[in-house]
Amino acid sequence: MQNQIENFQLLSKPTGSVCNIDCEYCFYLEKEKLYPSRKKNWQMDEETLQYYVKTNIESQSAPVIDFIWQGGEPTLAGLEFFEKAVAYQQRYAQGKQINNFFQTNGLNLTPSWAQFFHRHQFLIGLSIDGNAAHHNRYRRTKSGKDTYDKVIEAIALLKKYQVEFNTLTVVSEHNVHEPLEVYRALKAVGSHYMQFIPLVERVANQADENGLFLIKPDFSEPCQVAPWTVPSAAYGHFLNTIFDEWAKKDIGQYFVMNFEQTMTQLIGGKGSCVFSEECGANLALEANGDVYSCDHFVFPDNKLGNIHQSNLLKMVNSDQQIQFSQSKSKDISVDCLQCPVKAVCHGGCPKHRFSLSSNGIPNKNYLCDGYKVHFSHCVPPMKEIIRRVLQSA
């Protein structure tokens, strides 16, 4: 059994899956089906908010505590909700540093929101998928309207009020073949910190017993890769093309988290959960206090309990969560064990392990070819970049 998880992160969803836009590729919108009785009470109430803030701080020994606010769309909870959240953080901080990370589509941002973010030093993650054509392909309102212009307005607002932000870009079958157009569009709107997220989903022919169509990797009924899923090798080439331009002229000016995390691993640091040997320290908190193993595993089988009924730290270190954590390394495919890039990949996210290995055994990551393409190309020059930086230090 592994050591106890003392430091962890909860990706909290104060509005559950409720959102003000209807992104075609969103994996979380259909999670509303897990809570059929919550239609009128979809928002986190103040009792749950207070208890979450208190227990999240008290359950961790680290001097720095991160609060990550996601959705759905967290701005739908209202500004007053987050003013209360900050007040509770200040009440229960116990001398610890509190960081707030806020992921939004940007459509509801106003000067009042921006002033609040600036005053309390929130770091904002803004979703934008490249230029207008890339972005509007999947990210539309419920009435079918484009959202790109609203996101650009949100960026201008964040800049005006000096709010730090980064951009999160979903890489799909639509924008994967135009990497430089995507990268340059992000730079043009003022993003200096960016992250590229590969879009991989499978759709069941029929909904499972919970009414969900986007299914887990061990789903055995008829299904197919979703049409918006990024082709594996193309994703690797997408990253490589951006890396080559970034390495040539943008180091130190623009920061691509995909590259930064790999270089962190190369010098012995800890990478993202996707490329760590084990995962399990990044859990999800639903609006009613339910805790799940991971944001990408919000399924009944992966529910650990509820903060109102169970001790948070005990849930984090439960046998169920430890097994979830260790299965990432234990269930790795035979191809991975022999792979030259295993040290920086570790088989990728378990959610994507639904392909077959060369000997027909499951658990191979769908993005395996793309990861090989990317890491084989980028790791050697990354090592050289690290060497030069260390020499000049």
User: Side-chain half-sphere of 76: how many Cα atoms within 13 Å?
Assistant: 20
Nearest alpha-carbon partner for 244 in 182, 187, 179, 196: 179
Nearest to 281 by CA among 345, 325, 229: 325
Residue type, 62: A
Quick check: 357 and 334 in contact, CB under 8 A?
A: yes
Of 66, 129, 290, 295, the active-site residue reads 295
Backbone angles phi, psi at 283, to 5 degrees: -105, 170
Q: Is 331 a catalytic residue?
A: no
The answer to whether the beta carbons of residues 277 and 329 sit under 8 Å apart is yes
Residue 138 C-alpha from the chain's centroid = 18
| Closest C-alpha to 290, from 81, 8, 35 | 35
Q: Compute CA distances 388 → 28, 242, 385, whole Å.
A: 42, 21, 5
Catalytically active residues, by annotation? 295
